[in-house]
Amino acid sequence: MRFLRCVHAEWLFVAPLLTRTRLGLSLLVLGAALVWLNGRGLDPITVAMQAGALCSIVGAAGIAGSESERAALGIALTHPTTGLAIATGRWVAIVMPATVVTIACTAAVGWQNAAAIAGLAAAAAVGSCALALVLPLGKAAAVALFLFMAVAGAFAPERLVDLAHPGLVRLAAASALELGPALWHYRDIATGDPGAIVHAVAWTGLGMLLASGFVARRR
């Protein structure tokens, strides 16, 4: 129970950033852009997954990517809390608005339960990964992850290998898509693939553990 109170307190601390900064507006613009792309041929499942993943990355950059926000972690650790509670609170603050945008986008392009579930899984997994990256590396890592997800995230590794050159880049990109929280994995959640569900859950947990470790190092 104490852990949940600490998570809630951290969420309450960072949630106002949605309205006090340009974060909320950025998420709205991103959601509107994805709905517009649906009218240009982007399928509903991809819209939902991109909404979940990209909004989580933008949220991670806004909530945990700045130097001032990362410096505040050391102050938070002086209170009776833990690195895992702080990381979990930040993750909740990242994923909740991404969830809202994902649901809104899914409804706007024609509601599909499978698309919504895939989008929410992408938000949870990618949000956790993004948090683990921006805590040590800052917003530059969020920009790189955003571009990677937007451009290549929905491609299966085999397709990217055929397109990319030279060999080393090809191998690195394919490995990232195969092992990381890439969107092509989570498309299979729409068909009930248990492997895709396990992948999303595993990356959510791994990202949280890594993020909590980086938070603890701020002590």
Tell me the average pLDDT across 124-144: 91
Q: Which helix (H) or strand (E) holds 159?
A: helix 157-163
Amino acid at 13: F
Average pLDDT over residues 74-88: 77
For residue range 1-59, list pLDDT tens digits in order. 677 777 777 777 777 777 778 888 999 999 999 999 998 888 999 999 999 999 999 99
pTM for the predicted model, two decimal places: 0.88
User: What digits encode the pLDDT tens for the residues 86-112?
Assistant: 888 889 989 999 999 999 999 999 899
- Residue 26 has a CB neighbour count (10 Å cut-off) of 16
Q: What angle do CA 99, 94, 27 make, to 5 degrees?
A: 65
Place of tokens 């909004």: 55
Residue 142 confidence (pLDDT): 92
The domain locations on the chain are 2-216
